[in-house]
Amino acid sequence: MEDLEALAQGDGDVLETLTQMTVDTMERSGLDPETYMLVRLAALVTLDASETSYLLNLGVAEKFGVPLEKVRGTLVAIAPVVGTARIVSGAAKMGMALT
């Protein structure tokens, strides 16, 4: 339970572990870093993920130099599939994660 609470509060050690898992998965996917992170962000929107999930993934995306314009473009691309409610929720949570 303690680990879950730490993750929910953005604990650095837990987030670093998750970041390392992300990097390993990226290499196995065969996708370039930008595409990989945009796909992950699209999946988070689809799942209506938590702000912490966005924080982690946006941090990795920033390290890889993924421009916010591409993130916005990804939201536009998936909007017809996932719907307005998911896009608004995802965009709001991304905004909160970035502040």
pLDDT band at 71 (very low <50, low <70, confident <90, very high): very high
CA dihedral 33, 39, 44, 45 (to 10 degrees): 130
Helices marked H in 1-99 — which ranges?
2-8, 12-29, 33-47, 51-63, 68-82, 84-98
pLDDT band at 45 (very low <50, low <70, confident <90, very high): very high
User: Is it the case that residue 7 has pLDDT exceeding 60?
Assistant: no
Q: Label residue 22 exposed, middle or buried (CB < 10 Å: 0-12, 13-18, 19+).
A: middle
User: Is it the case that residue 6 has pLDDT exceeding 80?
Assistant: no
Supply the pTM of this predicted model.
Answer: 0.76
- CB proximity list for 59: less than 8 A, separation 6 or greater: 15, 19
- CB proximity list for 56: less than 8 A, separation 6 or greater: 15, 18, 19, 22
The predicted pLDDT at position 3 comes to 58
